[in-house]
């Protein structure tokens, strides 16, 4: 609602939303496309393409997140920092899924809570940057903004935003989603195959062995149920899982082109993914991203960094979830291990006292990034665990539910984050430092983290 002032009278008017109203607001982090005509042509093409996900699926996720908001389930949101147009193949998609499924099974089995699985996958291409340009050896070029915009090579031609990339992102998302659906429905996700989700380089490690023991217990439990006469073959939840998709909806023109009116309800859904989130750098209340997000009916997230005040967070809740629908809004806290103990409690109390049914999720990655002595951007597994422990402690004190975890990971045996069972050190970082953007947990570190979070979860419910 807006207010019109005329004389001494105040008249309330409804400001209507449509998928283009964000265009009247300041939009941060948008590419400077050199040819606006070419962009509009590409966007028209994308708008004519089929949706990537369906409104009904977004509503299913909303209801699952509603359970998380009520403290009946846990959210695991995980995947790449930035998906790549280059590393795009079946193997990479399957391996990333395996890690998510492994982590989810550890959390479910150890803590006994259902886990809602959401990938940072099939659309996580756009990156917000702290500076518009990058200077190397006196040469200044536009920053890399993710493969949906430009290329990472430090080369003038590569850094020019190219609208054909918007269409390539659409097609890669479609193909990735197709494989995610096939893998999760086609027997690969069968609980009888949990052993096979362990990758070779992980299987030989202590985390891998711990996982194998857990997988053995699950397989025995399923065999036991079958032996007792239960027709386990006909229980779908033992044979398939649902992995939803999500990404930071940064490039609003792309998101607008994929926003469709649901024929069943008349509501608008951004059909580029099941769940979308607003990044820490673009969550201004009167900005374009909040404007766009308030009108789409998908479940949405918003990153909450260390400077967020209770008033700001309450205003975000009012704007993004005025009807107070449980699961509609996930607040993804990313304060850093040193700030969370002080920063989070006032926010938890304010939101709790206002009665907003949010999902609280912990992103222990983005507040704990530092440059190592050798000059690599990295994160330490112990800092990540420390922030998660702070998150759980704050919820315990406030009597609220620590609803989820949001992490950047890859299945590959990379050396981007320090610590973990294999004790990746500063010297190891150059060995396999492959990320295009932020440092990710490797397969072993991810599994290690899942066991540690499961222990925290066990003691909190
Ligand atoms: C991200 O999730 O990759 C990201 C850029 O996070 P944030 O907006 O929290 O900095
Ligand atoms: Co990141």
Indicate the range of 147-161, 188-202, 332-346, 390-404 predicted with least confidence.
188-202
Report the nearest atom of ligand 1 relative to the CA of 128. Answer: 5
Per-residue pLDDT of 40-75, as tens digits, reads 999 999 999 999 999 999 999 999 999 999 999 999
Chain position carrying tokens 């992490």: 407
Q: Supply the pLDDT for residue 414.
A: 92
Report the nearest atom of ligand 1 relative to the CA of 281. Answer: 8
Q: Supply the pLDDT for residue 297.
A: 98
Mean pLDDT of 114-120: 97
Which of 147, 63, 74 lies closest to 105, judged by CA? 74
Greater confidence, 328 or 223?
328
Mean pLDDT of 243-264: 97
Which of 345, 342, 262 lies closest to 297, judged by CA? 262
> What percentage of the chain exceeds 70 in pLDDT?
97
Per-residue pLDDT at 3 exceeds 50: no
How far, in Å, CA of 295 to CA of 321, rounded?
A: 10
Greater confidence, 198 or 271?
271
Strand pairing partners for 268? Answer: 261
Q: How confident is the model at residue 2 (pLDDT cuts 50, 70, 90)?
A: very low
Q: Mean pLDDT of all residues in the chain?
A: 93
> In this structure, which ligand is nearest to the CA of 439?
2
Q: Supply the pLDDT for residue 70.
A: 97
Per-residue pLDDT at 7 exceeds 50: no
CA distances to 354, 386, 390 from 342, rounded to whole Å, are 20, 14, 9
**Which residues line the pocket of ligand 1, CB cutoff 6 A?**
81, 128, 248, 279-281, 303, 334, 366
Report the nearest atom of ligand 1 relative to the CA of 332. Answer: 9
- Please indicate, yes or no, whether the overall pTM of this predicted structure exceeds 0.75: yes
């Amino acid at each position: 609602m807006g207010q019109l002032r005329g004389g001494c009278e105040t008249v309330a008017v409804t400001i209507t939303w449509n998928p283009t109203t964000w265009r009247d607001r300041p939009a941060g982090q948008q590419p400077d496309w050199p040819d606006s005509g070419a962009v509009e042509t590409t966007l028209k093409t994308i708008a004519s393409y089929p949706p990537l996900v369906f409104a009904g699926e977004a509503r299913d996720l909303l209801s699952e997140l509603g359970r998380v908001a009520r403290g009946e389930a846990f959210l695991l949101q995980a995947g790449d920092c930035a998906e790549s147009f280059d590393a795009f193949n079946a193997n990479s998609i399957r391996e990333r899924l395996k890690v998510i499924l492994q982590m989810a099974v550890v959390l479910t089995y150890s803590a006994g809570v259902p886990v809602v699985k959401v990938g940072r996958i099939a659309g996580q291409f756009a990156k917000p940057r702290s500076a518009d340009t990058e200077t190397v050896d006196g040469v200044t070029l536009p920053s890399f903004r993710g493969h949906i915009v430009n290329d990472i090579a430090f080369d003038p031609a590569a850094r020019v935003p190219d609208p054909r990339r918007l269409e390539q992102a659409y097609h890669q998302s479609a193909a990735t989603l197709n494989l995610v659906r096939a893998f999760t429905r086609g027997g690969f996700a069968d609980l009888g195959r949990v052993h096979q989700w362990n990758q070779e380089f992980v299987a030989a490690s202590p985390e891998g062995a711990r996982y194998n023991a857990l997988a053995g217990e699950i397989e025995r439990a399923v065999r036991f149920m079958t032996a007792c006469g239960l027709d386990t073959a006909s229980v779908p939840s033992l044979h398939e899982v649902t992995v939803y998709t999500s990404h930071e909806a940064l490039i609003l023109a792309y998101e607008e082109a994929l926003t469709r009116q649901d024929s069943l309800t008349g509501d608008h859904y951004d059909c580029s993914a099941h769940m979308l989130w607003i990044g820490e750098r673009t969550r201004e209340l009167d900005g374009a991203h909040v404007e766009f997000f308030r009108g789409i009916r998908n479940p949405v997230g918003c990153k909450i960094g260390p400077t967020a005040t209770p008033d700001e967070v309450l205003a975000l809740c009012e704007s993004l979830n005025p009807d107070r629908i449980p699961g509609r809004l996930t607040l993804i806290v990313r304060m850093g291990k040193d700030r969370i103990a002080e920063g989070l409690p006032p926010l938890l109390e304010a939101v709790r006292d206002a009665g907003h049914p949010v999902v609280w999720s912990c992103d222990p990655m983005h507040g704990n990034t530092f440059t190592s002595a050798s000059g690599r951007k990295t994160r330490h597994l112990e800092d990540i665990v420390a922030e998660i422990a702070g998150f759980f402690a704050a919820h315990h004190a406030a009597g609220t539910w620590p609803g989820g975890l949001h992490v950047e990971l890859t299945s590959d045996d990379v050396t981007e984050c320090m610590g973990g069972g294999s004790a990746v050190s500063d010297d190891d970082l150059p060995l396999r430092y492959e990320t295009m953007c932020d440092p990710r947990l490797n397969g072993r570190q991810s599994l290690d983290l899942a066991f540690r979070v499961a222990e925290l979860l066990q003691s909190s419910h």
